[in-house]
Amino acid sequence: MADQLHQIDQSYDRQIGLLKRNVTLMLEERAAGSGKSDNAQPAPIWLETLSVFNYMINLSADDFRQIRYHTSLITGESILTYWHQYPPFEPELFARNIGYEFYTRDVPKKYQLGEPAAEALPRPLGVEYQGRVLNGNISRYQSCVSNLYSMGILDSLSEKAGRCLALEIGGGYGGLAHGLGNILAGNTTYIILDLPEMLLFSGGYLILNNPKKKIYIYEPATFTADFLKSGIYNYDYVLLPNFILGSLYQISHIDLMINMQSFQEMSKEQIAEYLDFGHARLTGYLYNDNIDKHPFNENLAPATVTSLLDSRFSLFPSPEFFDRHLSSSPWPYRQYVGVAKDREITFPKQGPLRIIDQSTRYRVFKENSSVRVETERDIMKCLMAYARKLIRR
């Protein structure tokens, strides 16, 4: 079988070399117009950002050990935020202010995330709290993990007979894939489908932090029908370029499909293409965390992320819930879990979902049926408060 010929060398240097080579080939394949998707090109909102990523392909394997130093380009959270902070962060207050304490309340420790150690960096990327290193990214990924736990989805996948497939569309730097992939380790292959440029980040991060895991990186010679039928299940992580989405219809089913804050940056046609695939192949659950109308995305209106989701999936909570509770928020992220319409699928449990509304700096805790809503200062407001203290000194 083709996948058996594609053995991933466990040497870190060899894996990084393979990553760089294969991403280069992906870019050439996309440029040649041989992609299978009509929406293979990056959305206009991403073109400017991608233009500064060219240097990544020239990083050495040793440079990739400092991959988290570069991820602020896509997350907006600088590593320097946490170095030589004065006055120092108070861990309990920090955990509350970024929402982590709220997200992990009554959640088993095995489902609580933390930033993995980065030995190549002189200081941790975050604040140490109860044996874990926290930062804004970790809190965001924790919201997903906690909500999947609250809906019974994590336990359902872990107990499922046979091997599962989880698909994350737009994996960022790989932080959620690392955390959730390790939670589901043992019976799940975690697929990231993303722009080739972004796979340099997620691939580098996953290779660095998962030295014993089997990681497949797309190349045409090994990406065959046999691979999609059976070989894919032999890997812990599978990294694929977005332009091969059409080929994934050869997979019989997907157990979990996730999008964290990248649908909001796509065109209406791109989102529709992913959701059509999800509706056709998702036999499990969808998780969405996106703004309905990103202020800088001019290629989505008049549609919204919710309207495109709602036409294909049964959503919890209902869109009306967010209309009532989050309409005043300047960045109204909507966290939905969903199942494909016309399929006889039910959620193992019914919440509560944990939702943070960042429209106000004051904490207000409310409960509404099976949903918990909490208004919360975001991390930048927390940092600004510390800066004002320094100025007064």
Q: Please report the DSSP string for 199-219 in residue order.
A: HHHHHHHHHHH-TTS-EEE--
Higher per-residue pLDDT: 382 or 90: 90
pLDDT of residue 204: 97
Parse the chain into domains and list their residue ranges.
2-392
Q: Is the pLDDT of residue 271 over 70?
A: yes
Q: Rounded to 5, what percent of the chain is helix, strand, coil?
A: 45, 20, 40
Q: Distance (Å, rounded) from C-alpha 153 to C-alpha 204?
A: 28
The CATH-assigned architecture of domain 2-392 is: 3-Layer(aba) Sandwich (3.40)
Q: Is the pLDDT of residue 351 over 80?
A: no
The whole-number average pLDDT for the span 240-247 is: 96
* 3-class secondary-structure state, position 241: strand
Q: State the DSSP code for 165.
A: E
* 3-class secondary-structure state, position 93: helix
pLDDT band with cut points at 50, 70 and 90 for residue 376: very low
Lowest mean pLDDT among 199-213, 359-373, 376-390: 359-373
Stated pTM of the model: 0.89
